[in-house]
Structure 1
Amino acid sequence: MSVNNKDKDKITLSGAIAMGTGVMIGAGIFTLTGEIANYAGPYFIIAFTLAGCVSALTSYTYVKMSNSYPSSGGVAKILTKVYGNSSIAAWGALLMLFSMIINQSLVARTFANYLSRSSFLTISSSSIPYVATALVIFSFFINILSNQAIQKFQFIGAFFKAIGLFLLAIGGLAASGVDINAIIPQSEVDNVSILNILGSIAVGVLAFKGFTTITNSGGEITDPKKNIGKAIKYTIIICISVYLLVTFAVSNSLSINEIISAKNYTLAEAARPTYGEFGVNITIFVALISTFTGIVASMFAVSRMLTMLTKMDLVPHKHFGLPGNIQKHLLVYITVITALLTLVFNVSRIAAMGAFFYLVMDILIHYGVFKYANRKEVHFNSLLLIFSIVIDVIIFLGLFWIKIEEDPWLIIYSIAGMSLIYFIERFYLKKVNI
């Protein structure tokens, strides 16, 4: 009976796809459309497409490793398989974890930004950080439910967001027509440099990194060796299709200057020319559902990844007298960190910082698998891994250079944060003699 109950609480293939798309679409299309346009200008559709291609390429390593070693630790499991229980492995795993936590802050801010534009609830711009923090706390309570309840919650959210985005895209294209210049602009390109394009791709990768949510929940998925790879593939295909359709509609509804001006709530403004105020409110409603389900899905994956790291003695843990198991404790800590980031940083800073953390971790993954993976257990194409590393380094440096000129303090915060995580891990692992 207990075995049946355990299987019943597993995540199905469709549930894994819903979870992955929940994170991607929640963070990606609503949050990053304006941010990417801010970097790439009229080339933002091309930048979005290239970001999807980069994510599809780099997911190859995760699929190969997850097929061989399915685990709820996901990225952490991959890192420990190639680097052992070392400070590098723990550092890489925590970079992934913090990039996801940073992403949760990004999505929470987006929720509040869209809500502030609605006509059904009035909130001031100064209240946005507090509304976003309230969402983070509410998402914590959803996450203390069972896997099955979370899966049903994701299905409902995925349905509403798919219908809403489809109507927005089709309506926008039908009303404004199809203009191929939206993809390949003929003007307004003088101020867009290669660095801008590279930076936009680096930020755009955040819109697709939700596939790691699937690898981080690998141990919870039914028939993981078969379904993890399928779930990642279908999730990326679905999201690229949705992003292209919606961004194409947005570019046909608004000028690039209008997109950038409304970068925190671009899709809501894009609905106005076609659907009027009613369409704006419907789009906001879809955005609220998308961002909410995105945070819930991300918290679900992060808590399981951190639970595994804790059980492996790769990260320190203290109960502080809290009731419940380790996972529940970690959900509390994740919620607190996410809330603090949400209160302190704006959307642009959160997006760039998340990209830095994620890309460093991604490079560690590809290099570790290429250099140290057991090739009898993991079969992969070495050239694809080398190409993934080169692409990651190029787009990382592009965004890094942009931020050095625009926001040097963000570079300092990011380097300090990554360094602090590394040295804390190194000290802790020496202390426990691992």
Structure 2
Amino acid sequence: MSQYKKSSLSLGNAVAMGTGVMIGAAIFALLGQIAELSGEYFALAVVMGGIISGFSAYSYIKMAHAYPSAGGIAMFLQKAYGKGTITAFAALLMAFSMVLNESLVARTFGTYTMQLFEGSENSFWVPVLGVGLLVGAFIVNILGNEVIGKTAMTTATIKIGGILIFALGALWAADFTVGSALPSTAPENGVMEYLASLALAILAYKGFTTITNSGGEIKEPHKNVGRAIIWSLVLCGVVYFITALAVGANLEIPQIIEAKDYALAEAARPLYGNYGLWFTVGIAIVATITGVIFSIFAVSRMTAMLTNMKLIPHSHFGMPGNIQQHMLVYITVLAIALTVLFDLSGIAAMGAIFYLIMDIIIHVGVLRHMKEKVKANPVIVITAIVLDAIVLIGFVWVRAQTNLTVIIVSAALIAVIFFGEKLFLKNTKQEDQDEMRDSQKSNDEKHN
């Protein structure tokens, strides 16, 4: 497989890829966690997460129109900050958040699959099944993006159609009315908890960035990357909102929280019995499988671009193949480790923190260095920065009180990435200078 294949993905394929990553785990794994933090307002939190993501998407769309690339975010950062520590640091934060998303999807796959056997979300088989999914996704990606493109549209249709069948059927069976969707009581949780729920809701939409990371493969990228992002956000927003209403119409908040890792499957039980459970789990399996495949596809492209830009270290360890194939191996191994070591809540927390920090860096870069070049409206960009910052502060505050270990691990990883990149780039610069000096010395000796 060649490293990049220009114009190998249509607009429809790109939309399917974006929705494939977003619906890969978000609606299945994060809905319960969002409800745990926002209570009866969890459907509103899902909508607000989409709105905030819409503001964030503005910077990406503007940059993608000007600089479509198979490296996507890596290229955007390089244009804004140059080939330096900030670019490498932020790009790696994005890459790590995507790998964390793959682990989230993998564990969701295991959790929902175990519902077929009435297994616990804490079962030994959950990470085992997740690891199996990651290995399978690796194999599919090795086969090439033609396979991904051919399956993207079909699987996206199955996922969206299946979830809508579940949601609309659940709303009909529950005699849903618009009035019943409105919260009946004052918020029980505080403002910080609600802000924390928005961080997870935003994480549910971050799959739109997958499209920018495959910009070089999309046909007519100057216009289709932006269109694909908008369509993906709109489609997922509608699906998420209707599904949240359906779950809320059939389960009380305590029930959603108790089954937070498999809330949709639990919501199907009282309505359709085992048939509903099997149907929902089947859709979850399709969604998680394709979510992992598309995510690995995108992050391998971005990290390959970073390697080619000499912003991250690389070693082939004797493996055959090109850089992109090597990155597939490293990404899969890292995702497997995270799947085994952390639960869904921990993975989601780290992913949200990494993503929001990276997102803020992107917006600051556009605002300070690129707004004239890409014709960005500074008011929209500043709004995106403020919203991200408020949500990030609220999320870290809440998680520090409930799971301080995750915050410490996240901070440690962020520090390692930043200072590791700083050291690597310093050494690389010194090596380049030494090489230039040796070359100049050799030329001088020849002339003498």
| 1:57 equivalent in structure 2 | 55
Deviation at 1:183, TM superposition (A): 3.4
Amino acid at match of 2:389: V
Q: Which of 90, 95, 103 is the aligned partner of 1:92?
A: 90
| 1:292 equivalent in structure 2 | 289
- SS in structure 1 of the partner of residue 318 of structure 2: coil
Q: Is the 8 A contact 1:102 1:338 kept in 2?
A: yes
Partners of 1:207 and 1:86 lie apart in 2 by: 30
Deviation at 1:191, TM superposition (A): 2.8
Partners of 2:168 and 2:187 lie apart in 1 by: 31
Q: Indicate whether 1:214 and 2:211 are aligned.
A: yes
Partners of 1:397 and 1:121 lie apart in 2 by: 36
Partners of 1:123 and 1:364 lie apart in 2 by: 36
Task: Give structure 1 stretches of 5+ with no counterpart.
Answer: none
Q: Which of 19, 27, 39 is the aligned partner of 2:25?
A: 27
Amino acid at match of 1:103: N
Partners of 2:45 and 2:412 lie apart in 1 by: 29
Q: Is the 8 A contact 1:182 1:251 kept in 2?
A: no
- SS in structure 1 of the partner of residue 375 of structure 2: coil
Q: Which of 364, 374, 381 is the aligned partner of 1:378?
A: 374
| 1:429 equivalent in structure 2 | 425
Which aligned segments of 4 or more residues in structure 1 are displaced greater than 3 angstroms? 119-124, 179-183
| 1:268 equivalent in structure 2 | 265
Amino acid at match of 1:127: W
- SS in structure 1 of the partner of residue 234 of structure 2: helix
When residues 263 and 229 of structure 1 are mapped into structure 2, their CA distance, relative to the original with a 3 A threshold, is: same
Deviations 1:65-112 (A, max 9, x none): 010000011111111101000101100000000000001100111000
Alignment of 1:118-129 (within 5 A): 118-119=116-117, 125-129=123-127
Q: Indicate whether 1:301 and 2:301 are aligned.
A: no
Q: Is the 8 A contact 2:111 2:262 kept in 1?
A: yes
Deviation at 1:27, TM superposition (A): 2.0
Amino acid at match of 1:424: G
Counting aligned pairs with the same residue, the percent is 45
- SS in structure 2 of the partner of residue 373 of structure 1: helix
- SS in structure 1 of the partner of residue 9 of structure 2: coil
**Which stretch has the larger CA shift, 147-156 or 400-409?**
147-156
Amino acid at match of 1:290: A
Partners of 1:403 and 1:265 lie apart in 2 by: 21
| 1:414 equivalent in structure 2 | 410
Q: Indicate whether 1:11 and 2:19 are aligned.
A: no
Task: Give structure 2 stretches of 5+ with no counterpart.
Answer: 433-448
Q: Which of 146, 150, 153 is the aligned partner of 2:151?
A: 153
| 1:245 equivalent in structure 2 | 242
Q: Indicate whether 1:79 and 2:69 are aligned.
A: no
Q: Which has the larger radius of gyration?
A: 2
- SS in structure 2 of the partner of residue 210 of structure 1: helix
Q: Is the 8 A contact 2:107 2:127 kept in 1?
A: yes
**Which stretch has the larger CA shift, 152-161 or 399-408?**
152-161
Partners of 2:403 and 2:120 lie apart in 1 by: 32
When residues 182 and 151 of structure 1 are mapped into structure 2, their CA distance, relative to the original with a 3 A threshold, is: farther
Deviation at 1:145, TM superposition (A): 1.4
How many residues get paired?
Answer: 427
Deviation at 1:11, TM superposition (A): 0.4
- SS in structure 2 of the partner of residue 70 of structure 1: coil
Amino acid at match of 2:97: S
Partners of 1:299 and 1:342 lie apart in 2 by: 14
Alignment of 1:139-288 (within 5 A): 139-180=137-178, 182-187=180-185, 189=186, 191-288=188-285
